[in-house]
Structures are given as C-alpha cells and as structure tokens.
Structure 1
C-alpha cells in the first residue's frame, strides 16, 4: 500500500475543510442535547453510528474503495473503534448532567493529548516552545469565552458530566494517536471511519439494551431533523473529511484548529438563535486566532 503524502503545513484546502468541520461540530453538541428529550443517550449515539456506517459503505461502493481487503489494519481499527465508542458514550451520557456549552469546552482538551502523544509517534510533529504557547493561548481563549457560564452549577451532579467530558477528550485524542500509530495511517479514510462507526454501533446499541434504555419507536419531525443532522452531516460527511485530513496532514496542527469549535457554537447561537455576541467573545476569538497562527506559522 502506498503511504499517503503527509503535508507538514495546512494549505487553503485543509483550512477550509477544518473550518467547515469545526462549524458543524460546534452545532452538534447542541443538537445532541436537544434530542435527549426524545431518545436515550446510548441509543442516540449507537443508531447514528448505524446510519452513518451504512452511508460510508454505500459511498465506498460507489467510489470503488476496497473496505474489506486484508491490509493489517484490523487491530488498529478495533482499537480506534473501541476508543471512538467510549468517547461518544461519555459525551452523550455526560450531556444529561452538564450543559452542551460546558461539554464542548472539556472535549476540546483533546489537542493537548495529541500534542503530548504525537512526538512518540512522529518526531517531526513535536511542538516547539512557541507552538506550545500558541496551544495554551488558544485553549485559554476558549475557556475565557465560556468563563461566565462556569460561575454556578446547574445541578448537583454537574461535576459528573464535566468529568465525562474530560474523559471524552482523552479518548478522542487517543483515537487520533491510534490512527497515526497503526496501519490505519495508510488506510483509506472511508475504511478508518467504518471501523469506528461499526464498532461503536455494536458497542453502543448493546450498551443501550443492557442499560434498559427504552427503544425509540416514535420519531417526531423534530427528532428526525436533529438525528439526521448528527448521522448524515456530522458522523458521515464531517468525520470522513476529518479522517482524510489526519491521513494527509500533521495531526498536531489539525488538533489545534479544532479549538475553534466551541466558539463556532457560540457564533451559531448568535446567528440562529439571536443570542448576543459580547466583548468577551470578540476578545476570545482574537486570542484564538493568534494561538492558531502561533502553532501553524
């Protein structure tokens, strides 16, 4: 199998794809939490993997991508799929106890996990002191934007939801590292994604049944819209783009860019829900942009 050409710097195509993905992911946590009023967290996570996995299989068949040939990627695929399943179990269960805004901040501790782990896998992706400063500045900007919402707990068990968000960040970073450290680094993006969707579909649906979550039998138009956005736009299209990017670009630089996701969520709220944009948010956006420039300069 021919190794992919991996670019050390992000070009215009990579930046455009990343910004689009981050915009979609910024909206995704809100959609997931909104859907919890009509569907259990584990069924929601598991069934969206089922639908997205079917779409990846159809897409691959139409493009002639070989998904089932032996290429030595099975062990890495099962590992990445297990981490992916655990990550989304933490996210969807955690959203029952904490707000979507808080959850998205904790999830985006993931770039630190990638930055710490990647030098052990690819020495060329070790961050310099300036780049570490940019990473800290970027995350600090995100935390600063959300600081007002951290002043009071929404429920006595909010800490549990926050802890699950941190666990999800570690698992997401671990998934990225597993992809780069195994034969998945040379596998097509479609195959990498199908491993994760397939394993997570089985694991999460089994966990939902074991936990006794009621099977969703009635689907309102509202639930269909929220679920369809997560399954088709996020889990299929945006994740396919993300794993293609991981295969062709430096993972540390990609991971830092994802820190823009929480602020995209705030901007989406302002545009879609007419929520105000404060001076704090403007300052945070400026600091975030500076941090990303430091890491990718």
Structure 2
C-alpha cells in the first residue's frame, strides 16, 4: 500500500461547479429514464442489465489505464458488503418506481445525505455533526413526514391505492438508507484507501449478480416489445449514469474538497422533480412542494461546508 500523501483538495472552481451542476441534472433524470424503460423491461431485470453493462465498461476503462484490480488489499469483505448495499438501493429504486411517481421517488431517495451524515457521525472519526447539520436533518425528516401524509391524501399516478403509493415512497426512503450505508462502509473500511475504480467495480459487479439473480427468482425475465425509448433509457442509465457520471464524480473527489462538492446534491431532487413534471406530466400538490422544499433545505444544511472537515 502506498504511503504517499494525498494532494490537498481545493475549493471548487468554475469547471468543478459546472460539472457538478451537469452531474446533478444527469442524476435527476435517472428516475425518468427508469420509467421510460419499465414498459419493456421488468424492473429487476432492467437494473441487473444496467449494472452488468456498467461493470464491463468500468473494467475495460481500468484495463486501458493499467489499474491493478486484483492486488490483495484487505478490501474483499467490505467490497462485497458495499456491493450488497448498492444492490439493495437499486432494488428499492426500480421496484419503487412501479408504485410511485418519479418526482416523489427522487425526493425520498435524496434524503440519503441526511442518513449519510448520521452514519458518518456514529462510525467515522472526525465526522461529528454540527448544530446546523442537526437542524438540516430535522427539516429533512419533517419534510419526509409531510410527504408521506400527502401520499395518503393524493396517491401517485398509477397507484391503485394510497397504500401502494406509500409503499413506493417507503422504498424510496429505504433506497436512501442503503445508499447512505454504502457510503459509510466505504469511508469506514479499507475501501477508503482503495482506488475509486476498484470501489465502483465492487458495487456494480456484486449488484449485477444480485439483481439478475433476483430477477430470475421472482420471474422478472419476460421482455415486452422493445421500443427505441426503452433502449435509449437503459443505455442512458448504464453508460451515462453508472459509468460516465460516477467516474466523473470520483475524479472530482480526487481534486476538490468533498464537503464543498456535496453541497450541490440539493440540486438533484430539484432537477428530478422538474423532469418528472415536464417530461412525464406528473403533478405536484402544494403539500408535496412544501415537503420537497424542507427536504432540499435540510440537504443543503447537512452539507454546509462550515460543518465538515476538509476532505
């Protein structure tokens, strides 16, 4: 293991800011893309294909750069755990989007930074929460409560009952918990010293196996009429999101302060809600808009630069 000191990360410049805004837009569109492929591919099969394609692309990319992937570095156990949690996140997202709307899913899923802050507070030294972050978490969880109440009063389009829509909303929150747990495992284990590409391969490779196995076990292997929209949506998820955007994110983390980059995460649910309304015609109630505002404000406060250590 190399003992060379990591270069000091700097505050985001114009390039980093523009890239982060683009990444947030890419991630916000992901829920719309999943909806676009649901008519052709069962959710778990779709998720498994996505992870499989991305795994191959990341592996080819690392080979082309001569990155050593199979050197012993004590990351196997934590890597497998991170992969299982990553797979659990996408089980929740893909199944949840069959029960609730893309606009609701993106808001519930992006409560992850709040769960992440709690997990890091408990398990990673130097990541203790400040007062402003506790306020942010309280606001975000208050927003979740209001959004769940709104789901009972106004079921998402396609839901046959309030309980079905609420189950989809709950899967969104659970997906956020899985996402946060994955990050905590990475930060608190030997994966923190592994290369970004190796860490990403653990997540994509293990999740591909889990998702495809679940698809076969649950009989979600029948493909309906394949449309251009479905293929484009699946390609977007695998190539643009799981491959290009994740590698770009990790590249940014090697050069800029993570605390300053993560504050942009509040833009993702804003983009996601906008895409859902404009492209899918999903409606927003006043109660849900208030809930979304609380969640977004909470995310921004949780990621406040003054409350985090330089990373």
User: What residue ranges of structure 2 are gaps of 5+ in the alignment?
Assistant: 307-311
Quote the offset at 1:56 in angstroms. 0.2
Q: 1:207 & 1:286 partners in 2: Cα distance?
A: 35
**Alpha-carbon distance change, 145 to 83 in structure 1, aligned in 2, over 3 angstroms:** closer
Pairing partner for 1:48 from 50, 53, 56 = 50
* Match of residue 205, structure 1, among 209, 212, 220: 212
More deviation in 183-192 or 215-224?
215-224
Distance in structure 2 (CA, Å) of the matches to 1:62 and 1:53: 14
Q: Is 1:75 the counterpart of 2:77 in the alignment?
A: yes
- How many positions carry a matched residue from both structures? 296
Give 1:32's aligned residue. 34
Could you report, residue by residue, the CA deviation over 1:24-65 in whole angstroms, capped at 9, with x for unpaired residues? 111101110221111100000000001001110111111121
Residue of structure 1 aligned with 2:98, choices 96, 99, 103: 96
Matched with 1:109 is 111
Report deviation, 1:14. 5.0
Of 15-24 and 65-74, deviating more is 15-24
Q: How far is the alpha carbon of 1:159 from its aligned partner?
A: 1.9
* TM-score between the two structures when normalised by the length of structure 2: 0.80
**What is the root-mean-square deviation in Å for CA atoms of aligned residues?**
3.5
Question: In 2, Cα distance between the equivalents of 1:273 and 1:93?
Answer: 18
CA distance in 1, matches of 2:239, 2:191: 23
189-198 or 128-137, which moves further after superposition?
Answer: 128-137
Alpha carbons of structure 1 residues 239 and 151: separation in structure 2 relative to 1, 3 Å: farther
Rounded to whole Å, the distance in 1 between the matches of 2:32 and 2:24 is 14
Q: Contact 1:125 / 1:250 at 8 angstroms: preserved in 2?
A: no
Instruction: Mark the runs of 5 or more structure 1 residues left unpaired by the alignment.
Output: none
